[in-house]
Amino acid sequence: MLRDKTAVVTIGVKDIAVAKKFYEGALGLTSENDEDSGGVRYKSGSSYIFIYTSEYAGTIKPLPLVGEWEKT
């Protein structure tokens, strides 16, 4: 069942440096990887937030909505 799985939300951002300041400063999260993976991953409870740079962030153009669950 999904209730027993770890969720990962993927969020496209316009400026990853600004987003990192928000997630790390305002929310107090710590990144678990470097940006070489194409984005930054944060752990929040038993779930994760993955941010990446998207040219469509902050526009009315649709961003893909991605929901993931880790296999255990």
Give tens-digit pLDDT for 24-47. Answer: 999 999 998 766 678 999 999 888
Q: Is residue 12 a contact partner of residue 53, using CB atoms and an 8 Å limit?
A: yes
Q: What value, to the nearest 5°, has the Cα angle with vertex 57 and ends 54 and 60?
A: 135
Which tokens in the block code for residue 68?
A: 């993931």
What is the DSSP secondary structure assignment for residue 8, as one 8-state letter? E
Regarding pTM above 0.85, the answer is: no
Select the more confidently predicted residue: 28 or 68: 28
DSSP secondary structure string for all residues of 9-66: EEEEES-HHHHHHIIIIIS---BSS-GGGSSEEEEETTEEEEEEE-TTTTSSSPPPPE
Q: Which pLDDT tens digit goes with each residue over 19-30?
A: 999 999 999 999
